[in-house]
Structure 1
Amino acid sequence: MTGGHTLLGDWARAAPERTALVQGDRCLTYSQLDAASDRLARDLRAAGAGDESVVGLHLDRSVELVIAVLGIWKAGAAYTPLVGDDPRSRRMTVLSDTGCSLMVVAQEHVDPDLAAKLRVLDVRKPCSAEPYHHGDVSGDQLAYVLYTSGSTGAPKGALVEHRGVVNLARALAEEFGDLDGARVFQFAPVTFDAWVWELAMSVLNGGTLCIPETRGELSGAELARQLRLYDTTHLSAAASLLRSLPVEDPPPVRTLVSGGEPLARELVERWADRVRVFNAYGPTEVTVGATLARCFPGEPKPAIGRPLRGVAVRLLDEAGAPVPPGAAGEIHLGGVQVARGYLARPELTAERFHAGPDGDPPGRWFRTGDLAVWRPDGQLDFVGRADRQLNVHGFRIEPVEVEHALCRHPRVTAAAVTSRSDADGAQQLVAYLHTPGGEQLPVPELRRVARETLPAHMVPSVYVAVAGLPLTAHGKVDHSALPEPGSQRPPLGYDFVPPRGETEERMARLWERLLGVTGIGADDEFADLGGTSMHLVQLRKEIQQLWGVPLPLRDLSRTRTVRRLSAHLDSTEPTASEQTASNGPAIRAARRGVTARIRTRRQSGPDS
């Protein structure tokens, strides 16, 4: 078996003028992408990259990112993402673990800390135009090192090989049947293994990878607009993101793939009569996806399906024996997609990877920690976790790593982290903190401590101070006995400022309803109140319904208090599409009229 990039080469020869990548007005054909990645591979080899070496990636979602990954593979090396938003300590851990000495960037994204330690190659400035003839890459060579949350308090790097990437691409071609010529939306960040899934669905299978130009978060109506703009046929995303797509103005996709978190029956009922809906399952350690199910309306529960080609599944009990039919067992995955192990973590590798039982298939097996049952029709139903690992917005999170980070605060003596669903079903990460006498600590202070060592998706949204964590008879934290977070405004470390005026008062009430928090002040920060990206999506939708103004998510992120958001809303003029909408002018006029009457009453005095 060869490397993942050889699939690109096959298509470059079979359909050289077919579009491989598109971003805005930029298009690269398969022959152009093949040539550009060849040039980078030559420069990487000249700079010292070689078989099994690891090259850092410091690139945003872009055409250049795809060129970089393919070029690294052609040079015989593997990539690891170095994300600018991650804490410096986490990036330094990655550099130390991998022995990375080279980094591929785009010019405007050079991080000075990383540039001082690594040799930097700009993917946009190849050193020469000479042809490059790359050697063979074997299937068991390293393709990438992807870091995930660690149960010991430190992140762990999964070592994924080319054979897994190639098998994934071929398996997806069989499962979907229409990837040759498909237009696949590039949604996932490169730090998330779903990025490889999107690459496998598109460029490695003769399709077009559609890369949005926006760098902000995409969801709801804006995501639908982007899907329409690129005439997208295939979208893969977490269920919580798919839930935000507007039903009344659906995007033109013909295939939706949910993965990373449980898929609700309600979403299947909403979409499966319009498009094909698939539910995908698989951990990073088994090259993104291991099983896949086509979902249909009327089914009692969406299954996670059957194994992909080249993947084997066994459900085993705690003693390692197969469970009887209908019983829940831990999912053990085998086959060519199983990763090599964890980088420089032999004990953890031995704990999670094993040789497996005798017979077919031989090789490594991976203990997922997930529980499932076999259905009579031969599909798997996901049951839950055998351990404490959490899944929030498609990210698998080890609570211990978050707890260790929070205990760095000098007033926190112990911590317990869990997740909960809010009233709309969105997952939130909740931290319970043992402080002296249950002392309430300011949320911004706690978030700052967490951000020093954790990536953004692992920073808790809600913080609850307790005088003591509940314990079981064996002296362990009893997570079932942790109290529900209260609805009162949390301690923020700054004074409460009451909302003023109709817009601020209505906005504060809207925030209270969305976040489940009472007594929100005009200057309170959205994130400090427990707001997440999913809440922002819902907030945008509610604002458009109540005020008739579709605000971009970047505006909501920038104007992150009731006061600033209200002022921005009051100063926003309707667009041409709003002016022609049936309710746009009426809503705008009503809002201006209410605001004017309030100002008149204030100027005239309370008795006027």
Structure 2
Amino acid sequence: MSALNAPAELWASLEAAARTNADAVAVRDADTARTMTYRELFTAAAAQSAALSAAGVTSGDVVAVTARRSPREVIAVLAVLRLGAAYSGIDPDLPRVLAADALDRAGVRVVLGDGPRLAAFAELFGPRRVVRIGDGIGEAGPVAAVSPHAAACVVFTSGALGPVEAVRIDRASITRLAGPGGLLHLGIARVARLSGLAEPAAAVEILAPLLAGGTVEVFPGAPRDPETVARFVAQRRINALWLPAGLLRQIGEFRPDALRSARQAITGGGPVPREAVRRLLRAAPGLCVTTVAGLDEPGGAVVIGHAHHADDVADPPPVADADRVVVHDRVVHRSYVAVVLGTHPLVRDAAVTPAPGGRLLAAVVLAEPAFAVAALREFLAERLPPEAVPELWVAVDAVPRTVTGSVDTERLVDLATAADPVRRLARGRRGPAPAGTGPDRTGEPDAGDPLGAEHAERVVRAAWQKALGHDDFGRDDEFFDVGGTSVHLLEVRAQLRLRLPSARVGIDDLYAHPTIASLSGHIVAAGPDGGR
């Protein structure tokens, strides 16, 4: 019978693949000179499992793993699975309150990780045993006997739809999903290791290639933007990769040719942007886009469909639940955001509603009118994932409503965009742009300055306006304070490349120079071709 019908035990399947491919490359690091063969990888995992066993880890336990994408991360995951335990990744971007709650909900007693990550999360661990990857290794004991229905990994719901919940994915589901005849097409040899370990997709990225005798290709620590993904896919000759819906949208819009050499792209974890899928398939004739759902559910993922041609892509049905809104390609329950906001002692009433540009708007009635609304954003950021934190805020005497009793979204948008108190407060904290961020010139272009400061600033302002969909910002406002996101940043770069083709502005430049004044100054100072 196939693995789909009667999956073998996960660790037994992994060991069988390792024996068959002992001298093949199992993992290639971000630095391509660092590789590990199957023999080296599984020997290291066995030794690491001895250290975990000495720390008290046994079959059925949950071990929190925190490590950057690397061969050491793969060693850690395999060491946990060898003992019959389950791993649970710690998201470094998760608010500390949610991270601590996640450790408690998963029942974690031991944490395994590398030095920098362990230091960053030290205050969360409390009495839990902490083991460094590579420390205390010894002679490996026997492989643990474990039921196929025991957990292989524990993932968590995002917290955007309700309280964070731990979801245990069993070993049989992982084997069915990642093994032969599962999610990946046969013959896939090089799979991108792109997701965070806390994301459900990480299990597929790590275990699917190892079960198939392929190679885990580790994506570097650079931002996951269309340009870096395109370079990575081409340089590593990637066959398959997991793309969350938001990243797939960015690639489809800005670099549809990025996956020309790939055979399969898997997506899910949010509303799949159908037009982006069509653009990818038109640009890469040999590509298949596989859409899955339920990757963070106990039974594992369910394949929704495979698209080989643009005509295969059907438009999704409209969302029936008006309480669910899509923010940056993630689904958010706005009523839950309002409930969390209402737990603040100075909030008498709150409403959360969608605003133009795929943003959330929060209206609050405050017990103390002088209270800084900006503090409420920080309050939510400690309790909710980033996509559930509203970008527009307005304090009102009462939440405006229509004649039918529903929240008057149009009125709130007018109030919030006319005078965003968070943006105004942030501008007041910053004061003038710091010295050295670029020349503040508004006259005619210098003889040696073909761009000209005034022209560069006009172009940057127009690019911001095009990306953000509004012009409610000043030259010293920071991009992310006025509603900008990483997705909007890609649109800014596209506009600058169109209007200033000689400037060679990269994503790193946009992050380093977040205001119109500093970015235009940088463009002028760097000159044509970015100073290269």
CA-CA distance at 1:534 after TM superposition: 0.9
User: 1:434 aligned to 2:364?
Assistant: yes
Question: Per-residue CA shift, 1:450-484, capped at 9, x if unaligned?
Answer: 22222334323333445444679998x65988854
Correspondence for 1:290: 302
Correspondence for 2:448: none
CA-CA distance at 1:543 after TM superposition: 2.6
Counterparts of 1:220-299 in structure 2, within 5 Å, are: 220-245=226-251, 246-247=255-256, 251-273=260-282, 274-283=285-294, 284-286=296-298, 288-297=300-309, 299=311
- TM-score normalized by structure 2? 0.81
- Distance, in Å, in 2 between the alignment partners of 1:443 and 1:452 is 15
- Distance, in Å, in 2 between the alignment partners of 1:569 and 1:78 is 50
- Distance, in Å, in 1 between the alignment partners of 2:173 and 2:179 is 10
| 2:21 counterpart (4, 15, 20) | 15
- TM-score normalized by structure 1? 0.72
- Distance, in Å, in 2 between the alignment partners of 1:417 and 1:5 is 46
- Distance, in Å, in 1 between the alignment partners of 2:146 and 2:348 is 50
Correspondence for 1:514: 467
- Distance, in Å, in 2 between the alignment partners of 1:541 and 1:250 is 19
- Distance, in Å, in 1 between the alignment partners of 2:473 and 2:161 is 37
Contact kept? 2:160, 2:331, Cα under 8 Å: no
| 1:417 counterpart (352, 355, 366) | 352
Correspondence for 1:144: 153
Correspondence for 2:517: 563
Q: Matched residue of 2:191: which SS?
A: strand
Letter in 1 for 2:518: R
User: 1:118 aligned to 2:128?
Assistant: yes
Q: Matched residue of 2:311: which SS?
A: coil
Contact kept? 2:259, 2:280, Cα under 8 Å: no
Correspondence for 1:402: 337
| 2:314 counterpart (260, 282, 302) | 302
**Structure 2 spans left out of the alignment, 5+ residues:** 1-6, 434-439, 443-453
| 1:197 counterpart (191, 199, 204) | 204
Letter in 2 for 1:148: T
CA-CA distance at 1:195 after TM superposition: 1.6
Contact kept? 1:295, 1:302, Cα under 8 Å: no
Range that drifts further, 443-452 or 461-470: 461-470
- Distance, in Å, in 1 between the alignment partners of 2:90 and 2:399 is 36
Question: Per-residue CA shift, 1:323-357, capped at 9, x if unaligned?
Answer: xxxxxxxxxxxxxxxxxxxxxxxxxxxxxxxxxxx
| 1:504 counterpart (457, 467, 472) | 457
**Structure 1 spans left out of the alignment, 5+ residues:** 304-380, 580-608
Q: Matched residue of 2:297: which SS?
A: helix
Question: Per-residue CA shift, 1:290-311, capped at 9, x if unaligned?
Answer: 02312244537437xxxxxxxx
User: Judging changes above 3 Å, is the alpha-carbon distance between structure 1 residues 50 and 231 closer, same or farther for their aligned structure 2 residues?
Assistant: same
Question: Per-residue CA shift, 1:505-563, capped at 9, x if unaligned?
Answer: 33223212211222311221212211112112222232333333444434422322222
| 1:60 counterpart (59, 64, 68) | 68
Correspondence for 1:212: 219
CA-CA distance at 1:437 after TM superposition: 10
Letter in 2 for 1:514: A
- Distance, in Å, in 1 between the alignment partners of 2:331 and 2:258 is 32
CA-CA distance at 1:48 after TM superposition: 0.6
Question: Per-residue CA shift, 1:87-123, capped at 9, x if unaligned?
Answer: 2221221232233221111112223313553221111
User: Judging changes above 3 Å, is the alpha-carbon distance between structure 1 residues 553 and 441 closer, same or farther for their aligned structure 2 residues?
Assistant: farther
Correspondence for 1:532: 485
User: Judging changes above 3 Å, is the alpha-carbon distance between structure 1 residues 507 and 291 closer, same or farther for their aligned structure 2 residues?
Assistant: same
Correspondence for 2:165: 156
- Distance, in Å, in 1 between the alignment partners of 2:311 and 2:355 is 26
Letter in 1 for 2:466: R
Paired residues in the alignment total 491
- Distance, in Å, in 1 between the alignment partners of 2:410 and 2:367 is 19
Contact kept? 1:202, 1:209, Cα under 8 Å: yes
User: Judging changes above 3 Å, is the alpha-carbon distance between structure 1 residues 57 and 484 closer, same or farther for their aligned structure 2 residues?
Assistant: same
- Distance, in Å, in 1 between the alignment partners of 2:528 and 2:15 is 49
CA-CA distance at 1:151 after TM superposition: 7.8
Letter in 1 for 2:194: F
User: 1:165 aligned to 2:174?
Assistant: yes
Question: Per-residue CA shift, 1:485-506, capped at 9, x if unaligned?
Answer: 6654622213497996323333
CA-CA distance at 1:286 after TM superposition: 4.4
- Distance, in Å, in 2 between the alignment partners of 1:520 and 1:441 is 23
- Distance, in Å, in 2 between the alignment partners of 1:434 and 1:203 is 51
CA-CA distance at 1:240 after TM superposition: 3.3
- Distance, in Å, in 1 between the alignment partners of 2:322 and 2:108 is 33
| 2:389 counterpart (459, 462, 467) | 459
- Distance, in Å, in 2 between the alignment partners of 1:507 and 1:441 is 34
User: Judging changes above 3 Å, is the alpha-carbon distance between structure 1 residues 574 and 94 closer, same or farther for their aligned structure 2 residues?
Assistant: same
Question: Per-residue CA shift, 1:152-211, capped at 9, x if unaligned?
Answer: 8531111221111111113754762222xx211122212221222323432232221211
Q: Matched residue of 1:285: which SS?
A: coil
- Distance, in Å, in 2 between the alignment partners of 1:465 and 1:482 is 13
Correspondence for 1:128: 137
- Distance, in Å, in 2 between the alignment partners of 1:391 and 1:136 is 44
Q: Matched residue of 1:544: which SS?
A: helix
CA-CA distance at 1:285 after TM superposition: 0.9
Range that drifts further, 479-488 or 61-70: 479-488
Contact kept? 1:264, 1:302, Cα under 8 Å: no
User: 1:445 aligned to 2:375?
Assistant: yes
Contact kept? 1:469, 1:482, Cα under 8 Å: no
Which structure has the highest helix share of the two? 2
Contact kept? 2:11, 2:82, Cα under 8 Å: yes
Between the two proteins, what is the percent identity of the paired residues?
25
- Distance, in Å, in 1 between the alignment partners of 2:475 and 2:293 is 43
User: Judging changes above 3 Å, is the alpha-carbon distance between structure 1 residues 249 and 293 closer, same or farther for their aligned structure 2 residues?
Assistant: closer
Letter in 2 for 1:291: V
